[in-house]
Amino acid sequence: MGLFAKFKAGLQKTHAKLTHELKRIVTRSPKLTAESLEEIEQALIAADLGLAMTAQITGAVKHAYETQGGAGLDCLAIARAEIEKSLLAATNGAGGPAQAGLKKMAAGPTVVSLVGVNGTGKTTTSAKLAHLLQTQNQTVLLAACDTFRAAAIEQIKLWGTRLKVDVIAGAYGADPASVAHDAVTAAQARHADYLFIDTAGRLHTKHNLMQELQKLHRVIGKQLAGAPHEVLLVLDATTGMNALVQAREFHKAVPLTGLVVTKLDGTSKGGMVVAIQKELGLPIKFIGLGEQADDLQPFDAKQFAQALFEE
């Protein structure tokens, strides 16, 4: 399957829900009325696009109706254009050299920390990212900094074996910051291009979790200037708008550089990608479309909007 085909297949559920409802509304009443505009609004909200995006789309539909009249008014095309515009606005301005959407430091390893609540896909995404960068001839290392569960260390080691990527790990219960420190040392010694740090999603309390992350980032920041160079929040698309709340909390504790939205393959809530990017102004860097190593794609605003609306 080609890249776009895979992207589209993964977004099929979101696409179906969104376009089916919009088509039903415009087919029934081709002439825009206050009532049909309200229905369009409801459909957009139901697709988890968020209030701000919904208002932008309905505003554009209304404007088009008032200036061009109802004949040939294509609601879907308008929605697609507005979504694309909004996604591009948050994606732009990243700047600097990049590799597959990630910053790339001129010298020394680029350190990428993956954070998020439990079960969102941090470990899987660390492995997928290592694999993606490997296919681009980058040398990569993984750090097993979720030391809170023994199984978490085993899980990432298994990925390492499968992908032939070295995993720097400590003992179960070890200080995550000290494992991260060892991993940065190893990455420097081996001249690795990228180091991906898998972190815990659950500790005794949420306060602990945020403090651990802050400490981990502080420790490696002292060791290597600017590290972690990327802090990616991993969000589970199936949680819909809940992800927005998580994103706000994490962003306050550990300044994020971008988002990864996973499990888009299993949900019709794909619209939340748009809502979150719009509300937080943080770029979505990657999306997860399955459980395999190559089921991760750099986010592409244009393709995303196209996959949402195109037949």
The binding site for Mg ion (CB under 5 A) comprises 122-123, 152
Q: Which is nearer to ligand GTP, 104 or 202 (CB)?
A: 202
Angle between helices 75-91 and 12-28 (to 10 degrees): 140
**Burial class of residue 189 (count of CB atoms within 10 Å of its CB; 0-12, 13-18, 19+):** exposed
Beta strand residue intervals within the chain, DSSP E: 98-99, 102-103, 110-115, 140-145, 167-169, 194-199, 230-236, 258-262, 284-288, 296-298
> Quick one: what does residue 121 bind among Mg ion, ligand GTP, none, with the CB cut-off 5 to 8 Å set by partner type?
ligand GTP
Q: Is residue 289 involved in binding ligand GTP (CB under 6 A)?
A: yes
* Count of residues in contact with ligand GTP, rule CB under 6 A: 22
Instruction: For residue 108, give the nearest of 231, 216, 195, 179 by alpha carbon.
Output: 195
Give the range of 92-100, 178-186, 287-295, 297-305 binding ligand GTP by CB under 6 A: 287-295
Residue found under tokens 């696409």: 15
Binder among 8, 17, 122, 278 for ligand GTP (CB under 6 A): 122
Determine the residue type at 172: Y
Binder among 40, 133, 288, 307 for ligand GTP (CB under 6 A): 288
Q: What is the DSSP secondary structure assignment for residue 2, as one 8-state letter?
A: -
Binder among 131, 265, 268, 286 for ligand GTP (CB under 6 A): 265
Q: Closest residue to Mg ion, Cβ-based?
A: 123
Close Cβ partners of 100 (under 8 Å, ≥ 6 residues apart): 132, 133, 136, 298
Binder among 48, 82, 84, 146 for ligand GTP (CB under 6 A): 146
> Quick one: what does residue 263 bind among ligand GTP, Mg ion, none, with the CB cut-off 5 to 8 Å set by partner type?
ligand GTP
Beta strand residue intervals within 237-283, DSSP E: 258-262
Q: Is residue 119 involved in binding ligand GTP (CB under 6 A)?
A: yes
Contact between 116 and 206 (Cβ < 8 Å): no
> Quick one: what does residue 288 bind among ligand GTP, Mg ion, none, with the CB cut-off 5 to 8 Å set by partner type?
ligand GTP
Q: Is residue 118 involved in binding ligand GTP (CB under 6 A)?
A: yes
> Quick one: what does residue 120 bind among ligand GTP, Mg ion, none, with the CB cut-off 5 to 8 Å set by partner type?
ligand GTP
Distance separating alpha carbons of residues 57 and 37, to the nearest angstrom: 10
- Measured between alpha carbons, how far is residue 47 from residues 52, 161, 221, 268, 275 in Å? 13, 39, 40, 7, 10
Q: Which is nearer to Mg ion, 82 or 212 (CB)?
A: 212
Q: Which is nearer to ligand GTP, 193 or 236 (CB)?
A: 236
> Quick one: what does residue 291 bind among ligand GTP, Mg ion, none, with the CB cut-off 5 to 8 Å set by partner type?
ligand GTP
Would you give the binding string for ligand GTP spanning residues 225-264, x where CB under 6 A is met? ---------x---------------------------xx-
| DSSP secondary structure letters along 11-26 | THHHHHHHHHHHHHHH
Q: Which is nearer to ligand GTP, 157 or 202 (CB)?
A: 202
Q: Which is nearer to Mg ion, 123 or 297 (CB)?
A: 123
Minimum distance of Mg ion from residue 122's CB (angstroms): 5
Distance in angstroms between the alpha carbons of the first and the last residue of the chain: 17
Instruction: For residue 130, give the nearest of 163, 93, 82 by alpha carbon.
Output: 163
Distance separating alpha carbons of residues 18 and 21, to the nearest angstrom: 6
Query: Given the rule CB under 6 A, which residues bind ligand GTP?
Result: 116, 118-124, 146, 152, 201-202, 234, 262-263, 265-266, 288-291, 295
